[in-house]
């Protein structure tokens, strides 16, 4: 049974996918002029079966066409999941994203689509927890889904260049640290610190990242460092106080540099445009 059967994924498209298809078509024109496909026909590379009135009923299978076809259908499924998320159907978006992530037909290329699906899973989970944590934990699927959520959050090191995913992963890890719900629990409190420091490494002045770091530092019983975030150069917190507050924290050299920077130990941080104003669906 195809879990996407009720979704009209033909409605989900984006400009980047359109441009990519055009580039592939042009490449086919130049490299295979005797190719028998009807290049002038829109979406010529899709089989007649996938162009039916209900394309979402067609499961992704290797024998249905080329990698281009599979990626196109995969992208449309991602857009469908995003639609459910934006419509606040968080349980649907969570379940569909988990299915897509675990499916044998899931295409893993350069990582961009991979992290997009994983990020949708974590954000849908956070929204569901915010709405009804007891109902979420009490659901029969939680025993299986709970450990999967933690495992996905712990994949943030694989996507260090995507700060929004590190930010979301930190929120999930601290949530399950402060609200342990068997069979999931984060036993190492410092595990919540590394992902948010990775996000801040690229965006040192992002207010929502700093707010998350403050929450993590309070959780780790580092009130001096948490206070230094709001006023790094304030007289109420001395440099010596800040240095002492670092004792006991297990940090990499890069993480230490970031934490020292945002707490004022390495001079003033220059303001930058808030990421909320950039085009990034993961910030929704």
- What does the alpha-carbon distance between residue 204 and residue 239 come to, in Å, rounded to a whole number? 19
> What pLDDT, in 10s, does the model give residues 103-161?
645 555 445 668 899 999 999 999 999 998 888 888 888 888 889 999 999 999 999 99
Q: What does the mean pLDDT of the chain come to?
A: 77
Peptide bond into 101 cis (omega under 30): no
> What pLDDT, in 10s, does the model give residues 268-283?
655 555 444 444 544 4
| pLDDT confidence tier of residue 171, bands split at 50, 70 and 90 | very high
Question: Which three-class secondary structure state does DSSP give residue 66?
Answer: coil
Cβ of 126: how many Cβ atoms within 10 Å?
17
The DSSP result for 190-228, as a single string, is GGGHHHHHHHHHH-TT-HHHHHHHHHHHHHTT-HHHHHH
- From the number of C-beta atoms within 10 Å of its C-beta (0-12, 13-18, 19+), residue 122 rates as buried
Q: List alpha helices for 3-132, DSSP H.
A: 15-31, 67-86, 90-102, 112-131
Average pLDDT for 16-35: 69
- What does the alpha-carbon distance between residue 255 and residue 266 come to, in Å, rounded to a whole number? 13
Residue environment code for 22-60, b if the CB has 16+ CB neighbours within 10 A, otherwise e: eeebeebeeeeeeeeeeeeeeeebbeeebeeeebbbbeb
> What pLDDT, in 10s, does the model give residues 181-217?
767 777 788 899 999 999 999 888 899 999 999 999 9
Report yes or no: 160 and 198 within 8 Å, Cβ to Cβ. yes
Average pLDDT for 226-253: 85
DSSP class of residue 46 equals S
- The residues facing 181 across adjacent strands are 184
Residues belonging to the chain: 284
Q: Does the structure show a pLDDT above 80 at 35?
A: no
Question: Which three-class secondary structure state does DSSP give residue 33?
Answer: coil
What's the confidence (pLDDT) of residue 57? Answer: 38
- What does the alpha-carbon distance between residue 154 and residue 188 come to, in Å, rounded to a whole number? 12
What's the confidence (pLDDT) of residue 271? Answer: 55
Helix (H) or strand (E) holding 261: helix 253-262
Q: Enter the tokens of residue 262.
A: 């945002």
**Using alpha carbons only, what angle is made at residue 172 by residues 175 and 132, rounded to the nearest 5 degrees?**
65
pTM value is 0.69
- What does the alpha-carbon distance between residue 141 and residue 145 come to, in Å, rounded to a whole number? 6
Helix (H) or strand (E) holding 148: helix 142-153
Residue environment code for 77-93, b if the CB has 16+ CB neighbours within 10 A, otherwise e: bbbbbbbbbeeebbbbb
What's the confidence (pLDDT) of residue 24? Answer: 79
Question: Which three-class secondary structure state does DSSP give residue 265?
Answer: strand
């Amino acid at each position: 049974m195809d879990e996407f059967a009720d979704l009209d994924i033909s409605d989900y498209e984006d400009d980047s996918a359109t441009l990519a298809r055009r580039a592939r078509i042009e490449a086919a024109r130049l490299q295979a002029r005797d190719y028998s496909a009807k290049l002038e026909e829109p979406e010529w590379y899709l089989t007649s079966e996938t162009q039916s009135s209900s394309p979402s009923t067609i499961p992704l299978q290797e024998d249905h066409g080329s990698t281009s076809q599979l990626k196109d259908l995969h992208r449309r499924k991602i857009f469908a999941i995003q639609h459910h998320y934006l419509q606040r159907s968080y349980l649907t978006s969570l379940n569909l994203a988990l299915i897509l992530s675990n499916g044998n037909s899931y295409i893993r290329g350069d990582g961009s689509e991979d992290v997009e699906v994983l990020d949708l899973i974590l954000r849908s989970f956070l929204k569901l927890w915010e709405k009804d944590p007891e109902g979420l934990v009490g659901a029969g699927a939680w025993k299986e889904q709970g450990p999967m959520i933690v495992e996905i959050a712990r994949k943030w090191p694989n996507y260090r260049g995507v700060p929004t995913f590190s930010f979301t992963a930190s929120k999930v890890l601290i949530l399950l640290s402060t609200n342990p719900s068997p069979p999931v629990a984060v036993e190492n409190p410092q595990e919540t610190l590394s992902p948010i420091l990775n996000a801040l490494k690229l965006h040192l002045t992002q207010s929502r990242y700093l707010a998350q770091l403050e929450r993590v530092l309070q959780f780790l019983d580092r009130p001096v460092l948490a206070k230094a975030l709001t006023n790094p150069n304030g007289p109420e917190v001395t440099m010596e106080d800040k240095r002492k507050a670092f004792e006991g924290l297990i940090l990499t050299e890069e993480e230490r540099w970031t934490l020292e920077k945002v707490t004022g130990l390495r001079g003033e941080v220059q303001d930058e445009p808030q990421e909320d104003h950039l085009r990034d669906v993961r910030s929704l």
